[in-house]
Structure 1
Amino acid sequence: MTEQQRPRRRGQGELEALVLAALREADGPATAGWVQERLGGGLAYTTVVTILTRLLAKDVVTRERAGRSFAWTPASGHAGLAAHKMRRVLDAESDREAVLASFVTGLGPDDERLLRELLGRTRSEGED
């Protein structure tokens, strides 16, 4: 097989995103076989199961027993997944204050206003 014939190798994050996108298209919990079919069969069944298991470990999907297998469901929408990624990045840093300060100073005026409103709502809800 020549270099041009060999399929491009995808990164782990790209495969996770493809599997998660397929799960979101399902009408309900979906099996690994359904996900594999939805992705066009380009991935081995065992690869799909491995990716789903990694997503489970990251709390991005949930699973329930379905016969001898499992049915998988996204744990949250796009916003929840993005928030989870942001928390993981923050948790990996030793200087949380510096990371948050850098993040906030890099926000545009509209995003900064929105963040202040959300923080204000969170504080007032905690007082109730």
Structure 2
Amino acid sequence: MRRLGELEAGVMVAVWKHDEPVTVRTILDELDRDPAPAYTTVITIVERLRAKGWLRRERVGRSFQYAAVRTAATYTAELMGDVLESSADRGAALQRFAGRLSVEEIADLRAALDERRRSGPE
């Protein structure tokens, strides 16, 4: 999976903040960039993300609203998987990663592993 560019990632973060579809204006207003990109630039990025399968759009009145197809957690997990796959020593990479986790994150990881064990292989 290709990593999102900086502006693409900013657009996705703006969309992920909402439970409902959002307009390009809402996305633009939530982008934390100085200077703010032009409205037409954001439209271009949004449409590219839609073409890549990251966003879906629906017509509401005379405009479009956009919603994420994948969650932020799914994107992050895919990135982590890509990095792990590129590692020469997956076990060492996992151990180093685990060594950086907080107590709360370790508990979350342990719960996810327990759930995975209960659900069986994919």
TM-score, normalized by length of structure 1? 0.55
Distance 1:34 1:111 in 2: 32
The answer to whether structure 1 residue 66 and structure 2 residue 59 are counterparts is yes
Q: Which residue of 2 aligns with 1:32?
A: 24
Distance 1:120 1:105 in 2: 19
Any stretches of 5+ residues in structure 1 without a counterpart? 1-11
Q: 1:30 is paired with a residue of what secondary structure?
A: coil
The correspondence for 1:125, drawn from 112, 119, 122, is: 119
| Contact 1:22/1:35 (8 A) holds in 2 | yes
Q: 1:63 is paired with a residue of what secondary structure?
A: strand
State, as a whole percentage, how many aligned pairs show the same letter: 31
The answer to whether structure 1 residue 101 and structure 2 residue 101 are counterparts is no
The offset of 1:73, in angstroms, is: 0.7
| Contact 2:22/2:66 (8 A) holds in 1 | yes
| Contact 2:58/2:64 (8 A) holds in 1 | yes
The correspondence for 2:105, drawn from 103, 111, 122, is: 111
Distance 1:27 1:112 in 2: 28
AA of the residue aligned to 2:57: E
1:62-104 CA-to-partner distances (Å, cap 9, x unmatched) read 213538975321234443443233234334x142614323212
Q: Which residue of 2 aligns with 1:4?
A: none
Q: How many residues matched? A: 112
The answer to whether structure 1 residue 23 and structure 2 residue 22 are counterparts is no
1:9-42 CA-to-partner distances (Å, cap 9, x unmatched) read xxx42x3343234324556323435533555993
Any stretches of 5+ residues in structure 2 without a counterpart? none
Distance 2:59 2:82 in 1: 30
The correspondence for 1:84, drawn from 78, 81, 101, is: 78
